[in-house]
DNA sequence: AAAATTCGTTCTATATAATGAATAATATAA
DNA sequence: TTATATTATTCATTATATAGAACGAATTTT
């Protein structure tokens, strides 16, 4: 439950609801509802504000890492990559890192209309 | 904008709004509003349903980049790779997996016969 | 001691997320 | 052509996320 994680992180940072309101821009009344699991389905905008206030990656709040395994159970690419990179030296890692960038760049650079043609 | 990514992914999979409605459980009218950027702030529940329907990690839809700068400043390739692969879809992971195999094959850490099995 | 802050909660109000049905638009088939 | 699906949009409605107070209970200050 996301409310439990929000409360735990706020406690660790020793913040009051008012202080968290100030650094996230979320009203303390709503923060209170989230922490008590009265509101359990916040929007992505709220998640971003929380992550920004706590200075953490949004995934820390969402705890979606487990779901990923199930979602990608159809292929073993991710597990294979994770397993193999642990035995790579720095030179190999640097080469792979560059290729990661290339893969993501390709995804952004190709216009939608051109993409559809080749699929 | 999240609507653009939803539409792009739906087009790539050649799905109609009705088909996407069926595999996500989200009504097509709302899907239409999302794709046209009329609704731009869905809840995390909707994000999870979309990710489940598309069979990708939710981060692919959200395109959140927080923490990127710190990862680059440390210049740690391994952390950078681990971070980036979490936001890749299956198609990208398969491509990256192949490149991992190639990198390792260059060093002969993987026998060619084993490499072929993975590609 | 009271008075003033600060705490978290509980109300009410509003914006909008999300649904369901009807509609228009476009394709497919008879 | 006419009819029948299937497309995506629009409209009306419900549900709920979120805001903006006000509230009593603890603290802190004077």
Residue B55 pLDDT:
87
* Region of residue A88 (phi > 0: left; psi between -120 and 50: alpha; otherwise: beta): beta
Nearest neighbour of A80 by CB, restricted to B43, B80, B118:
B118
Average pLDDT of B2-13? 92
Neighbours of A81 (CB within 10 A): 22
Residue B89 pLDDT:
79
Distance between start and end Cα atoms, chain B? 35
Whether residue A72 and residue B85 make contact (CB cut-off 8 A), yes or no, is no
Whether residue A80 and residue B56 make contact (CB cut-off 8 A), yes or no, is no
Smallest CA–CA separation between A89 and chain B, in Å? Answer: 10
Distance CA B71, CA B86 (A): 14
Residue A40 vs residues A62, A78, B59, B86: alpha-carbon distances, Å: 11, 30, 19, 24
What's the CA angle centered on A78, arms A42 and B41, to 5 degrees?
20
pLDDT tens for each residue of A10-57? 998 899 999 999 999 999 999 999 999 999 999 999 999 999 999 888
Instruction: Give the distance, in angstroms, between residue A16 CA and nucleotide D27 C1'.
Output: 14
| Structure token pair of residue B99 | 């490149």
Grade residue B117 by pLDDT with cuts at 50, 70 and 90: very low
Tell which strand D nucleotides have any atom below 7 Å from a protein Cβ. 6-12, 16-22
Report residue A13: phi and psi, to 5°.
-85, 0
Residue predicted with more confidence, B94 or B52: B52
pLDDT tens for each residue of B31-89? 999 999 999 999 999 999 999 999 888 888 888 754 433 334 344 777 778 878 877 77
| Structure token pair of residue A53 | 């206030």
Whether residue A48 and residue B41 make contact (CB cut-off 8 A), yes or no, is no
Residue B15 pLDDT:
93
pLDDT tens for each residue of A79-90? 778 877 876 777
pLDDT tens for each residue of A88-103? 777 778 777 777 776 7
Tell which strand C nucleotides have any atom below 7 Å from a protein Cβ. 6-11, 16-22
Average pLDDT of B91-101? 78
Is the pTM higher than 0.85? no
Residue A58 pLDDT:
86
């Amino acid at each position: 439950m996301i409310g439990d994680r929000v409360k735990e992180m706020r406690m660790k940072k020793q913040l009051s609801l008012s202080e968290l309101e100030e650094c996230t821009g979320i009203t303390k009344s709503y923060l209170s509802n989230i922490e008590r699991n009265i509101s359990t389905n916040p929007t992505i905008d709220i998640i971003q504000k929380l992550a920004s206030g706590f200075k953490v990656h949004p995934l820390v709040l969402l705890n979606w890492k487990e779901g990923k395994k199930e979602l990608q159970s159809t292929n073993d690419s991710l597990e294979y990559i994770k397993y193999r990179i642990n035995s790579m030296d720095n030179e190999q890692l640097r080469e792979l890192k560059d290729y990661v960038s290339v893969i993501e760049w390709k995804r952004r650079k190709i216009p939608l209309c051109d993409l559809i043609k080749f699929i």
